[in-house]
Each structure stands twice: as structure tokens, then as C-alpha cells.
Amino acid sequence: MKTKRWLACMLSAAMVISMAACSSGGGESTESQNTSTVSAGSAVEGEDGPFAPYAETVTMDFGVDMDVNSGEATKLAEAGEPYDDNRWIQLFKEKLNVQTNYELVATGEQYNQQIKLLMSSNELPDYFKINDWSDFQQMADAGLLTDMTDIYEQYASPLLKSIMETEGEQVYLPVTYNGRMYGLPRTMPSTNGYNHLWIRQDWLDNLGLERPKTMEDVLEIARPLRKRIRTETARATRWACGSTRPI
């Protein structure tokens, strides 16, 4: 039970630390738990659940694919937010009494090679990123990864689940093996990035239309514009605005 709760704690908080330390990544990478290095302390008496702090400090070892000398990392460090001692790590320690330790920090192929070496010696960190699908398969087959399926269903917050599920079922594919979930998808909500939509005011004035306030308004503007341009040019017109609905 202690180990299960410790993993649930990782589920709820480790993603925060990872996102604070690394730039956002795609769905092809996963972050997985290693059962061989899990050690659990005791929760504060009278408290339960993954957010209860430990009476004794628990150390969580991380492996991250990150360039600590990159421009972004340097700027964060200069602003008082280094990768190994930022506000998220401090909050993790304050709220959960879990100390973060970056056991492996490397980039690219060097990181991948270090993961392979640690895998062969059964000394993987508690929480790390996997870039190679074949490595993921080998770790799962060798029992080096914790089956997170039931833990995720029980302890993942509604917010975390909604973020994952909004991205579609494919977000779970990189961490699923033989129908079981062996890691956490490394993804950021697609809604984190917003694009500006520009439209010429003279076009709106010519058609007697108001500026759009919603995407429905954009569609209503696009239809007469498309029709007018086709009429004036006597040819089909391609648009540079993507839409999941026909205009």
C-alpha cells in the first residue's frame, strides 16, 4: 500500500516537476515508473490519499532529457528558477515532503545511451523519459516498469484526465503495452498555444459585416467572402484558414 500511494503521489506531482524542468514534448515520449527503485515512507497519521505529506522525507530520483545550458534554462536560472531548485520543486517538498533528485541529466543520444546502460544494470531512476519504443517494450517485458493502469484510474485528478482525454485516445498509445498503461503521456494541452486570426476591415465594410467575436462568426464571414471572390475571379479560391467544418 505504501508503494502504491508513493506511485500515486508521483502521478499527481511528478508531471508538474517534469513540465517545470523541461520544454513541452510530443506524444511519442513517455515518462515511466521503475518498481526496482521505489522506496516509500509513512504518511502523516490521520491523513490519507496521494496528497498527504510523508512524516519522513522521501526522495524521488529523476532522469530528464534536457540541456541545462540552453538559453531557456539559463534564463530561468538567472531569474531564480533553476531546473533543480524552482518553485515547483519547493512546493513538492513543502506540500508532500518529497525531495526531488535529478539523478540523470543529459540530452539527445547521450541521454538515450545512459537509459540503456541503466536499464541493463537495473538501476533506472524512479521517474524518467523514454524516447525509444523498443526500450519501452524491453523494460515492460523485464518487469522494470510499474503497471500504472489502475493507479491512474484511481488517483489521477479529473483535471489531468480531462487534459489527456481532450487530446484523443492516441495520447495513451506511447505508454500502453499489451493493453496496460506503463507510464504517463508526456504532452501539453494543445489549447496552450493560441493563434491570432487577422481579417481585413475593408472586406468587412464592403460586405456590411461586423468584426467576428466567435468562430461561428468567422465561418459566417468566410462564406460570403468565398462566394464574392469566386464571383469576381471566376475561379475557385483556396484559403489558408484550417477548419474541421466545411465552409
Higher pLDDT: 140 or 9? It is 140
Between CA 135 and CA 241 the distance in angstroms is 40
pTM of structure: 0.63
Q: How many CB atoms lie within 10 A of CB 236?
A: 8
Q: How far is CA 142 from CA 36, 121, 226, in A?
A: 11, 12, 58
Higher pLDDT: 51 or 109? It is 109
User: In sequence order, which ranges of the chain are alpha helices (DSSP H)?
Assistant: 2-21, 71-78, 87-96, 108-120, 133-141, 149-155, 158-166, 201-207, 215-233
What share of the chain in percent tops pLDDT 70? 69
Q: Mean pLDDT over all residues of the chain?
A: 77
pLDDT digits (tens, 9 = 90+) for 94-103: 988 999 999 9
Identify the pLDDT of residue 50. 66
| pLDDT over threshold 80, residue 2 | no
Q: Write phi, then psi, for 65 (nearest 5 degrees).
A: -90, 95
Identify the pLDDT of residue 65. 93
